[in-house]
A and B are shown apart, each in its own frame.
Chain A
């Protein structure tokens, strides 16, 4: 059974903290994505990785960075958390060729206070 797992379901952090969101997939997928989901704005792409150690900016990368040291793990890093980064974060993965289904994790609801 396909599985994409995010390390936390709920997270509360303080302004200025460095925050790590972890995502692990067990499907040997090359492509992995981080999105944030906000009401009325849909799923906005933050960063994606098409292979190990490869990463590209999405539409809203400001304030975020990513790490992909191993194929199965893709981490989203908030260098200095701010209240406007309070959101639902979703990780997804899929395998090339690009015309394939993406599988999502269960989401991490991050609150920055």
Chain B
């Protein structure tokens, strides 16, 4: 069945540095790739998404890239701040309505 793998499981960076989280998916029919941020004790919330007809999307300090051939997509956070500390989830979705998530990355931004 569909599978989404996410790496790394934990990531610690210095404030101001960049952070990169990578995901791979197995279903070639996947066409929508959202990223969610979950702060401690809160529900996951969408921070950025990308569709299969686009290779890159940027929103201020956050960017996502998609390589359909390799079935890879990545989240890039530049100029990290302590409030970026959270768990980040990638996900993939196709026309089957399923929304499959990765295992999550715990990002810690050290002041």
Contact = CB atoms under 8 A, between A and B. Distances in A.
A99 B93 CA distance: 7
A45 interface: yes
Contact of A102 (B1, B34, B104): B34
B18 interface: no
A24 interface: no
A99 B100 contact: no
Contacts of B97: 31, 48, 50, 56, 96, 98
A35 B43 CA distance: 12
Interface residues of A, number: 26
B34 to A, nearest CB: 7
Interface residues of B, number: 25
A110 interface: no
Interface string B27-60: 0000110100000001111100101000000000
Interface string B78-107: 000000000001000111011111111000
Interface of A: 31, 33, 35, 40-45, 48, 50, 56, 58-59, 90, 92, 94, 96, 98-99, 101-102, 104-107
27 contacts: A33-B99, A42-B89, A42-B103, A42-B104, A43-B44, A43-B89, A43-B101, A43-B104, A44-B101, A45-B98, A45-B101, A48-B99, A50-B97, A58-B98, A90-B44, A98-B32, A98-B93, A98-B95, A98-B97, A99-B31, A99-B49, A101-B46, A101-B49, A104-B43, A104-B45, A105-B43, A107-B43
